Copies of this chain bind each other. A is one copy, B any other.
Amino acid sequence: MQRLIYLPLGGAGEIGMNMYVYGYGAPGREKLIVVDAGVTFSNMETTPGIDLIMPNMDWIKKRIDDIEGVFLTHAHEDHLGAIQYLFRFANLPLYASRLTARMAQHKLQEADISDPQIKCVEPGKLDEVSVGPFKVSFVPVSHSIPDSMALIIDTPKGRIIHTGDFKTDLDDRDVGDGQLFSSAWRQAAKSEIIALVCDSTNIHVPRLGRPESNITPNLSEIINEAEGLIAATTFASNIARVRHLARAGHKAGRSVVLLGRAMMRMVNMAIETGVLSGFPPLLEPHEAHHLPRNKLLLLTTGSQGEPRSATAQLSRGKFRGFSLEVGDTLLVSSKTIPGNELAVARVLNRLAALGVRVIEDHNGQCHVSGHANRPDVTHLHQLMSPKLVVPMHGEDRHLVEHADLAQANGWNSVVVTNGSVLDVTSGKICEEIDGVGCDYLDGNQVMPSSTRVIRDRLQLARQGSVSIAVSEGRHSDDLEVVCKCVGLFSNAVETLEDAVIETVYSRLKNDALRDQANMAILERELTIAVRRLITKTCGKKPVINILMTTF
């Protein structure tokens, strides 16, 4: 018996970290393709110190020999940022469009993965690739990065559409080429769709999505009317936006300077790969310093408040020779990704305090989303008329809402979250994979999310730490206690460390303890005594390290 399966490993339970598997064959021996290998970002509340979060790939590793190919829908980090971690296990055939392939190549190179088999495909050019039991072709889609595509996956059991991230606007394909939205999708729907695996990101947004052209006049107007220097920040990967800003600046007689590594890398890659043309001439930062402020447009990284980004550095003073001052403008042409609100606010408030005019997107006038909103998703359901709607790319609440919407409109729909295997033909979950979840990149280590490292870090962050060396020498009264408190404050005792040392001495001078043969018990006793002291003195419950030495 052969089965056709869909298994999300990431992205079906969060926005970010996309990784989906399709398989066909005998249960447990299906031939597989992987769609996307993305990361998501950490936060101080749940993942302090973590550099990146990626899907746990234990299952992939076990099944690596069954994987026939990897497809990347577009070049956003949450779709390709983990590609080098997937390629740890094997050098797999990789299919992507121009810009995506270029970004993937860059990531694999940086990870010293040599000779990746990257095959560049062109959505809209009727490319079709055969991988194992699958034939995959590509639908060009509008999104907030060029060269995005949906996948048409033809299987022995019928056609699956995997939308990737997409929006449904009709008129903003001014970067790259390809068919218009409706004709491309209608083409895809000519064969019966057995499953539409569909982006859920904006399922809660009740209004129709807007095309990029909806805001370009506003952005031009802001740039035309500004008087001093203009810094405009957006997602570096939103090449259409970056191009429009640059062209509007150029047209207004301003020289354009890119600030921030991501901005320079994305623009360069987009030009190299041919997805970006007609970009105005650029000046290097050092070439632009002498220009009058009203002849300058800086395109800056940092729309999410990243502390080391160009915008954040400008808010704190000079960056690459530029600084912002009274009469200058910062145009924020982006939305704030949930979790980044406070970081963004810090940057914008510093600039406001400097007298810089800060123009944010309070009313949708400076940014449009790259994702299909609720009515757009409904429209796609109708266009595709699938036998099954499978909500993809969303938190639990998005997936559930998407399935409810589909069902309300008469479609079959099933919520499949990370680690659940869908039998596509029956529309039922047929298996649960153990141990699916995420892994953390922490410094140079990839660690499982289940280690106690995070719990310890959160306690350190909230409660501080007390380290105590207790050393016993060869003479009967040889006893030394040294202490260091980190992340603790007290008004109540002269120094907290002296109070800790006194507490430890007074416990140890009790003979019963002093003679205690079992160091583990002694350690526990001391920990309790010190914790009690700190709780009383500071109201905190720090991590307590007792380090005992004896001669």
Residues of chain A whose beta carbon lies under 8 Å from any beta carbon of chain B:
13, 43-46, 48-49, 204-206, 338-339, 341-343, 345, 348-353, 355, 358, 360, 362-363, 395-397, 399-401, 417, 442-447, 451, 453, 456-458, 460-465, 467-469, 471, 473-475, 478, 480-484, 486-492, 535, 538-540, 543, 545, 547-551
Which 7 A-B residue pairs are closest in the complex by CB-CB distance? A443-B539, A461-B461, A444-B539, A469-B547, A469-B469, A44-B44, A460-B460
Q: In the bound complex, what is the Cα–Cα distance between A475 and B551 (angstroms)?
A: 9
Q: Which residues of B contact A458 (CB under 8 A)?
A: 461
Measured in the bound complex, the distance between the Cα atoms of B447 and A451 in whole Å is 33
Instruction: Tell me if B453 and A489 are in contact (CB < 8 A).
Output: yes
Residue of B nearest to A354 (CB): B396
Closest beta carbon of chain B to A48's beta carbon, Å: 4
Q: What B residues does A453 contact at CB under 8 A?
A: 464, 487-489
With both chains docked as a complex, state the minimum distance between the C-beta of A435 and any C-beta of chain B, in angstroms.
17
Check B456 against A486 for contact (C-beta < 8 Å): yes
Q: Smallest Cβ distance from A41 to chain B, in angstroms?
A: 11
Nearest neighbor of A453 in chain B, beta-carbon distance: B489
Q: Given B204, B351, B460, which contacts A487 in the complex, CB threshold below 8 Å? A: B460
Does more than half of chain A's interface fall in helix, strand or loop, or is it mixed? mixed
Q: Which of B348, B538, B548 contacts A443 (CB 8 A)?
A: B538
A401, B478: Cα distance in complex, Å: 68
Q: Which residue of B lies closest to A49 (CB)?
A: B462
- Which of B46, B396, B447 lies in contact with A352, CB distance below 8 A? B396
Judging by beta carbons under 8 Å apart, are A460 and B465 in contact?
A: yes
What is the CA–CA distance of A117 and B453 in the complex, to the nearest angstrom?
A: 50
Most buried by B among A458, A463, A547: A547
A258 to B204, CA, bound (A): 29
How close is A25's CB to chain B, nearest CB, in angstroms? 30
Judge whether A490 and B460 touch: CB under 8 Å.
no
Which one of B13, B45, B486, B489 lies within 8 Å of A44 (CB-CB)?
Answer: B45
Determine if A447 and B49 form an interchain contact, defined as CB atoms under 8 angstroms apart: no
User: Cα distance A152–B386 when bound, in Å?
Assistant: 65
CA distance A458 to B478 in the complex (A): 37
A401 to B363 CA separation, bound complex (whole angstroms):
15
Inside 8 A of A543's CB, which chain B residues have their CB? Answer: 465, 486
Q: Are A442 and B540 in contact, CB atoms less than 8 angstroms apart?
A: yes
Choose among B417, B467, B481, B489 the residue that contacts A353 (Cβ–Cβ < 8 A): B417
* Minimal beta-carbon separation of A451 from chain B (angstroms): 6
Q: How far is the CA of A124 from the CA of B51 in the complex (A)?
A: 56
Known: A453-B489, A486-B456, A489-B453. A478 touches B447 (CB 8 A): no
A543 to chain B, nearest CB (A): 6
> Of B44, B396, B464, B467, which one neighbours A456 at CB under 8 angstroms?
B464
Bound-state CA distance A460–B461 (Å) is 6
Query: By the criterion CB–CB under 8 Å, are A547 and B362 in contact?
Result: no
B442 and A362: CB pair below 8 A? no
Chain B residues with Cβ below 8 Å from A396 are 349-350, 352-353
Q: Do residues A204 and B360 form an inter-chain contact, with CB atoms below 8 A?
A: yes
Query: Given the complex of chains A and B, what is the CA–CA distance between A468 and B469 in angstroms?
Result: 8
Contact (Cβ within 8 A) B487 A480: no
In the assembled complex, the Cα of A362 lies from the Cα of B341 at a distance in Å of: 17
A548 partner, pick from B343, B468, B482, beta carbons under 8 A: B482
**A345-B395, A349-B396, A443-B538 known; A551-B484 Cβ under 8 A:** no
